[in-house]
Chain A
Amino acid sequence: MSYARRALAIAWKDLAVERRSKETLNALVFFSLLLLFVFQFTLGSDRERLAAVLPGVLWLGFVLSALLALGRTFLVEREHDCWEGLLLAPGDKSAIYLGKLVGNLALMLLVEALVLGLFVVFFDIDLGRALPGLLVVVLLGTLGLAAVGTLFAAMTANIRARELLFPVLLLPVQVPVLLATVKATEGLLQGEPLGAVAHWVKLLVAADTIYVVLSLLTFDVVLEG
């Protein structure tokens, strides 16, 4: 099997498991709905204040659901004793990483689209012309989160206190991605064109490239045993 097909096989396996069990997806959708309540309760109903913090709150929602989703990346393998099976897959191990990353991206983008929809409905935001630019920012930001998240999920899968350590390791590393996405989203929602936040988009592209390349190079080392 070629490299790409092996990666796709992993992604397909994960998505098939998810489609049939809907374990993660159902919980994540419910969780994002709950987040909306929490945001509403803590921020109050002042429209202007809400509009000012909306980009940050939106990404807080994305990040919190991402922490839950990404942390479970290798849970199926661990709980059903398929870890060895994964390791026995022939060829370059980084194909496993790529497959897991694609699966995670698909899941996260689905949840994020839903959260965004809920935000539009509940907080009455007018996406309008901001939508194309916002899609670029969300896509790049999610890739950054998922790239490091998938690598760290593999690292924390087999250690003590993994559900604690995973966010503790991921969040500091993701500060550049968080700042870039929140600031870019803020600009876009204020009606600025994508060109006005180009430096943030460039930073996201640089971050994504570094994270993905580095993860592909080091994933082998993480999976060794």
Chain B
Amino acid sequence: MVKTLGWLAGAGLLVGLIMAFGVAPREVTQGNVQRIMYVHVPLILASYVAFGVLAIASVVYLARRHPAADRVAHASGEVGVLFVGLGIATGSIWGKPTWGTWWTWDARLTSVAILFVMYLGYLLLRGTIDDPERAARYCAVLGIVAALDIPLVHFSVYWWRTLHQPPSLMKPGGFTGSTSILWPLLINLLAFVLLYAYFVARRVRLLRSEAEVTA
């Protein structure tokens, strides 16, 4: 099951990569640099999936106190931070030739950066608590606080300043771009979500073995 997931994710990434370079058209003004979008957007969206799963798993843990829920939250936190970190890095690499700067304090960049440090703190908290049961409880509370904080962060940062180009996929009125852009993006999105699921499945298995060894 887990292995199949891995192969599916791998195949998806390969197809996505081929489509990003073969099917997707060359952007007129930005040139080939724009193709990084096919990795950048799926990474960020997959990290949202990860943090969503983390929040749900946290609630489930507090309600049921099942260690499996905590392991899912733990693994999702790690993969989510990795993805959002890579998303920021790829965005930066794209931003330098396009905007002329590695970083700017625009609304969505700032929101994502706050998300990154918030969940980095979540992983730090996990790392400093030795008792697994207590780590699970505290992290579940932090996971819920962080999840409910996201809309507040979003609005405050949005009102603070906004400059980023509007979202291209999920916006009012639906996607209006050409399908030769849409399909490579969707395939890559699917591939990265599968990759997330695969990583989490492997990590959960590892965490379970760790718990068995120390028990």
Q: Which residues of A contact B (CB under 8 A)?
A: 148, 151, 155, 159-161, 165, 168-169, 172-173, 175-176, 179-180, 183, 199-200, 203, 206-207, 210-211, 214, 218, 221-222, 224-225
Judging by beta carbons under 8 Å apart, are B140 and A175 in contact? no
Judging by beta carbons under 8 Å apart, are A221 and B152 in contact? no
| CB nearest neighbor in B for A223 | B137
B62 adjacent to chain A (CB < 8 Å): yes
B117-159: contact bitstring with A at CB < 8 Å (1 yes, 0 no)?
1100100110011100010011011101110110011011101
Given A173-B146, A175-B114 in contact, is the A155-B138 Cβ separation under 8 Å? yes
Q: How far is the CB of B61 from chain A (nearest CB, A)?
A: 10
Judging by beta carbons under 8 Å apart, are A165 and B128 in contact? yes
Q: How far is the CB of A200 from chain B (nearest CB, A)?
A: 8
Given A214-B144, A221-B137, A222-B137 in contact, is the A203-B128 Cβ separation under 8 Å? no
Which residues of B, 60-107, contact A by the 8 Å Cβ criterion? 62
| CB nearest neighbor in A for B149 | A173
Interface majority SS on B: helix, strand, loop or mixed?
Answer: helix
B121: contacting residue among A169, A180, A214, A221, CB under 8 A? A169
Instruction: Across the A-B interface, give the 7 residue pairs with the lowest CB-CB distance, nearest first.
Output: A176-B152, A176-B156, A172-B118, A179-B156, A218-B141, A172-B117, A169-B121
Complex formed: what's the CA distance from A211 to B141 in Å? 12
Complex formed: what's the CA distance from A159 to B138 in Å? 11
Judging by beta carbons under 8 Å apart, are A214 and B153 in contact? no
B152: contacting residue among A161, A199, A206, CB under 8 A? A206
| 18 A-B contacts (beta carbon < 8 Å) | A148-B145, A155-B125, A155-B141, A160-B128, A169-B142, A172-B117, A172-B121, A175-B157, A176-B152, A179-B160, A183-B159, A203-B156, A218-B141, A218-B145, A221-B62, A222-B137, A222-B141, A224-B137
Judging by beta carbons under 8 Å apart, are B148 and A180 in contact? no
Q: How far is the CB of A130 from chain B (nearest CB, A)?
A: 20
Judging by beta carbons under 8 Å apart, are B114 and A168 in contact? no
Q: Contacts of B157 on A, CB cut-off 8 Å?
A: 175-176, 179
Given A176-B152, A221-B141 in contact, is the A165-B134 Cβ separation under 8 Å? no
Complex formed: what's the CA distance from A179 to B159 in Å? 9
Judging by beta carbons under 8 Å apart, are A155 and B128 in contact? no
Complex formed: what's the CA distance from A183 to B158 in Å? 13
| CB nearest neighbor in B for A160 | B128
Q: Contacts of A214 on B, CB cut-off 8 Å?
A: 144-145, 148
